[in-house]
Amino acid sequence: MKATLTLTEKPTFGSEARRLRIACFLTQQNLADRAGISREQVDLLEHNYPVPLDSKRRIFRELWSIKTKK
């Protein structure tokens, strides 16, 4: 009998932010410093808690700027 893993959940902003952060070899603190926000806001976003829209924009702007430079 084979075990099968299926993913039924859609990616969230938080899970995508975490995936991109890890792919860019950044810690939450590194990302927060680069985006000009607190580490707690990065953590809250990654765990799908409410974060101000401006903070979300700063996080994703920084992650995409790093990703596109590679």
Q: Which residues contact 47 (CB under 8 A, 6 or more apart)?
A: 14
Q: What would you report as the CA-atom Rg of the chain, rounded to the nearest whole angstrom? A: 14
| 52-70 average pLDDT score | 91
The answer for residues whose C-beta is within 8 angstroms of residue 43's C-beta and 6 or more apart is: 28
What is the set of domains in the chain, with CATH numbers? 13-69 (1.10.260.40)
Average of per-residue pLDDT across 6-34: 89
Cα(46)–Cα(32) distance, integer angstroms: 12
pLDDT of residue 22: 96
Confidence (pTM) = 0.80
Q: Find out whether 23 and 70 touch, Cβ atoms under 8 Å.
A: no
Q: Does the pLDDT of residue 28 top 80, yes or no?
A: yes
Q: Is 24 helix (H, G, I), strand (E, B) or coil?
A: coil
